[in-house]
Amino acid sequence: MLQAMKTNTGEEWLQERVRKYGPISKLTLFGKPTVFVHRPATNKFIFYGDSNMLANKQPSSIYAILGDHSLFELSGQDHGPENFQEMVEGMWPIPVDLPFTHSNRSLRACSRVQDMLKELVREKKVKLEQHTATPHQDLITYLLSKHNEENERVVTDKEILHYITLVMIVGHDTSSILITFVLRLLYKNPAVYKAVFL
């Protein structure tokens, strides 16, 4: 599967797997037993089913970066882009924590990004306390300002760090990936291409 993703043949790999093993099969992914499903009804059952029977769990390499409060896990220069890019690249390789691996570089980059985010959260707290920022100024100040009836914060600093990391990763390269897939589909479907551009 990783080879198919690297060579941009993931769609063909999926179709071949379904043809060979059917729409539901078991495989080992990142060293963990994984169930592969390829039907909308099955996906709906998994995502909307009883969370006591099924739970959404990510590979340990993703869990190590996004943390245990990631939205993916819910059931029912230090500021430069290099750290973030290394962090994202280390999510998909086999999670071997050796100094020369993507996984290790990703964990180190994640630590640097988390340190930067901790400082940012601290600065936002100070601004909220000094009333130089509004609770709805941005996502961090909003999360910092959420309180329950007992005036206790609803979201911990650790959860905020995990949410912000997730938002950064989800937003990373999303537009360029979407454009790439649209162009690829247009290339593979000349009739659609003509309908769009003529």
Indicate if 64 and 103 belong to the same structural domain: yes
- Residues contacting residue 93 through CB under 8 Å, at least 6 positions apart: 2, 61, 101, 102, 103
Task: Give the predicted TM-score (pTM) of the model.
Answer: 0.45
Domain count, the chain: 2
How high is the pLDDT of residue 118?
93
Find the domain containing 125 and state its range: 59-172
User: How high is the mean pLDDT of the chain?
Assistant: 75
With a cut of 50, say whether residue 184 has pLDDT above it.
yes
How high is the pLDDT of residue 86?
56
Distance CA 166, CA 113 (A): 12
Give domain status of residue 119, yes or no: yes
Indicate if 94 and 168 belong to the same structural domain: yes
> Taking the alpha carbons of 92, 93, 94, 96 in that order, is the dihedral positive or negative?
negative
The identity of residue 166, as a single letter, is L
Range in 81-85, 96-100, 164-168, 179-183 with the lowest mean pLDDT? 81-85
How high is the pLDDT of residue 132?
92
Indicate if 98 and 155 belong to the same structural domain: yes
